[in-house]
């Protein structure tokens, strides 16, 4: 498991350049361009189970959802950041990508530290130090547990038809 560490204000153009917004929408089209202008190694080396650690305002900028779809399809376990931009945060709920807002954990981590996530109890353990993060509200968990917003909407439509 690799930890990809980035700074503040990682915007949507860095995560997925705008010039591809209207030509790439499937995860296979998106993956080669993920973080293209920020870290060209990412799309070549990132693997299922990897983590992203970042500073403030991760995902700021455009409402494009390709960054979220891309990170989810690579199999990134979670993005842990000091804070997230709101459209990106919503989009991650909709796609089922786990985001954890935990500034203390981000500030504590240094290269080579062992890092473990315990989602059920809302804990991040970094080289023995424990950091907690709050659980999501029940309305949001319902979307995540359904497998994302479209799955949630589909089941709602079906139920209302019955």
Partner 1 sequence: MDMTFAEKILASYSNEKNVIPNQIVTVHPDHLLTHDNTAAIIQKIKPELEEYGVYDKSIPIIVLDHVIPAASEKTANNHKIIREFVRKHKIKNFFDVGNGVCHQIVVEKGLALPGKLLLGSDSHTCSYGAIGAFSSGIDRTEAASLMLTGETWLKVPNSIKMNLNGKLSPYVSAKDVILHIIGDISASGANYCSVEFHGDVNNFSIDDRFTIANMGVEMGAKNAVFLFDNTTKKYLDSIGISSSVYNPIYPDKNSSYIQQLDYDLSDIAPMIACPHNVDNVKPVSEMVDLEIHQCLIGTCTNGRFSDLKIAAEILKGKKISRNVRLLILPASKRIYQDALKYGVIDTLVESGGIILPPGCGPCLGAHQGVLAPGERCLSTANRNFKGRMGCKDAEIYLASPATVAFSALKGRILDPREVNT
Residues that bind partner 1 (CB under 8 A): 9, 11-14, 17-19, 21-23, 25, 36-38, 56-57, 60-65, 68, 83, 85-87, 90-91, 94-95, 137, 139-140, 148-150, 152-154, 156-157
Q: Collect all residues with Cβ–Cβ distance below 8 Å to 136 and sequence separation of at least 6.
A: 93, 144
- Smaller CB distance to partner 1: residue 27 or 125? 27
Yes or no: say if 67 and 16 are a contact pair by the CB < 8 Å rule.
Answer: yes
- Smaller CB distance to partner 1: residue 53 or 85? 85
Yes or no: say if 97 and 67 are a contact pair by the CB < 8 Å rule.
Answer: no
- Cα end-to-end distance, the chain, whole Å: 45
CB of 114 to partner 1, least distance (A): 29
Beta strand 115-118 with 99-101: parallel, antiparallel or unpaired?
unpaired
- Smaller CB distance to partner 1: residue 74 or 143? 143
CB of 129 to partner 1, least distance (A): 26
CB of 113 to partner 1, least distance (A): 25
- Categorise residue 79: left if φ over 0, alpha if ψ from -120 to 50, beta otherwise: beta
- Smaller CB distance to partner 1: residue 59 or 126? 59
């Amino acid at each position: 498991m690799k930890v990809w560490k980035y700074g503040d204000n990682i915007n949507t153009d860095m995560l997925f350049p705008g010039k591809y917004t209207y030509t790439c929408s499937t995860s296979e089209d998106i993956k080669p361009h993920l973080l293209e202008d920020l870290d060209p190694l990412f799309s070549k080396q990132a693997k299922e189970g990897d983590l992203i650690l970042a500073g403030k305002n991760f995902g700021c900028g455009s409402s494009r959802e390709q960054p979220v779809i891309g990170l989810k399809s690579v199999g990134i376990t979670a993005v842990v950041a000091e804070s997230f931009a709101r459209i990106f945060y919503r989009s991650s709920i909709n796609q089922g990508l786990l985001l954890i807002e935990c500034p203390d954990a981000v500030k504590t981590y240094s290269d080579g530290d062992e890092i473990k996530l315990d989602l059920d109890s809302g804990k991040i353990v970094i080289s023995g130090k424990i950091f907690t993060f709050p659980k999501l509200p029940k309305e949001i968990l319902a979307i995540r547990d359904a497998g994302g917003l479209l799955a949630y909407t589909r089941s709602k439509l079906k139920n209302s038809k019955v």
